[in-house]
Amino acid sequence: MGPGTGAALPDLLRFGIGAVLLVEATVLVRRRPVLGVWLLALASVLAGLGVTVPVNFRTITVYLLDGVVLVLVTVLVMQVAVGRRFPLILAGFGVLIGVGAVRGVDLSGIQSAFNASREMMMFVVAVAFVAVCVGADAWPTVERAWRILASGLVLWAAWFVLRNGLGTFAATGARGLNASQAMLVGQAVVISMASGARRHLLFVSAGGLALVATQQRTALVATTVGVLVVALRAGRLSSARASRIARVSVVGGVVAVMLAMLVGPSGLRESVGTAASSVSTDSGTFGWRIEGWRVLLEDYSRRPLGDQLIGQPAGAGFGRYVGGGLVTVSPHNMYLTVLLITGVAGLVLFGLLLVRALVRTRVGPVALHALVWSVIVFCVGYQLGPEMGIVIGAALAAPVAVASGDRGRVAVPTPS
């Protein structure tokens, strides 16, 4: 046995075990596609909490979320191979992301290029898998999964506050939940409000309090829009259903605000008072972020015509000077990120995708339509992960009205 063989063997063994688990997961998801929704949502939440479960073999590192996405891609290919229709908008969007990744190999190397397009490609895979493979079962699964996962995140946020105090963000910039996790909690609040069930009142209050405590204001604004959509759509429902929704929404909101204002002399109460003057950013003000967007757009306008049409090579980065300092992090704007990575063509396709999701949900579950609106707003201040792809996929798979004058009958879902 040569030097280093003993150290390499555990890596090889873990890689082999991981490969076997991926095969088993693929078989299970192929039989019951809704399991793919649970696996992807759970892996996304765990990744946000730092639970990535890396498996290394030589120069290859596969994380838990990567493995789940690989399973979904495999099942998706199987479904398309037997004749399931693949949404053309998604196909075009995915091709543009892939072209950018290939073009970026010469610029920054294969690892950097594909890492740069990884999150957006995961979003596309999530949308496609849910729309093509899960279909009409997607929305009931999302309702259950979001409530369960959000309950865990609310408990995590409470533990963070108890351990670190309410003024942690002001002192260190640390938060109990990142923006994507807070968004999932907010969407679960919207789902619970739309149900109008009294048993969800406690979660509505706890979820609202968690949103305020984590100071993820982009998610808070998006959630507020979702709640407003539910309130507006409630007027079209039966008076009894609308009344239940209104009671749960108002009581839950009041309880959350009262708790926020009563907890301690500072910390959370201060964050409520300053919410109107600042938003969740890397530097602290919305104006700082807008300035960064302006610089990126100016740089985009100076690029060659080809880059403007189909996007810059992946790995080119988002470097810009704001306030005299170099900033390299994501612009935290999905629309701008899509424009830079996939060009005008990709931005048009992404916009059509969101519009399609809105149209598909104009009848049917009130909460699903509200969630699509919340995603549209969330895109202004953050990027979308695979968990938001699940929501859009569920919207694309939603039943549609047979005719504009018949809002009671629905047609069989078609994801295209």
Split into its structural domains, the chain has a count of 1
- In a domain, residue 226? The reply is no
What angle do helix axes 88-108 and 334-360 make, rounded to 10 degrees? 170
Q: pLDDT tens digit string along 130-157?
A: 999 998 899 999 999 999 999 999 999 8
- Quick check: 59 pLDDT over 70? no
Q: Would 78 be classed as within a structural domain?
A: yes
- Is the entire prediction scored with pTM above 0.75? yes
Least confident of 39-48, 121-130, 189-198, 325-334: 325-334
Spatial neighbors of 160 by CB under 8 A, at least 6 apart, are: 168, 175, 176, 177
69 in a structural domain:
yes
Task: Tell me the H-state helices in 82-196.
Answer: 88-108, 110-129, 138-164, 168-172, 179-195
For residue 211, name the pLDDT band (cuts at 50, 70, 90): confident
| 325 domain-assigned | no
Radius of gyration of the chain (CA): 22
Bigger pLDDT: 56 vs 344: 344
DSSP E strand boundaries for 4-46: none
Q: Which domain holds residue 19?
A: 7-84
Whether the per-residue pLDDT at 278 is higher than 70: the answer is: no
Residue 56 lies in a domain: yes
% of the chain exceeding 90 in pLDDT: 37
Report whether pLDDT(403) > 80: no
In a domain, 34, yes or no: yes
409 pLDDT more than 80 = no
Q: Which residues contact 10 (CB under 8 A, 6 or more apart)?
A: none
Instruction: Tell me the C-alpha distance between 39 and 55, whole Å.
Output: 18
Burial of 375 (0-12, 13-18, 19+ CB in 10 A): buried
Looking at per-residue confidence, does 188 or 104 come out higher? 188
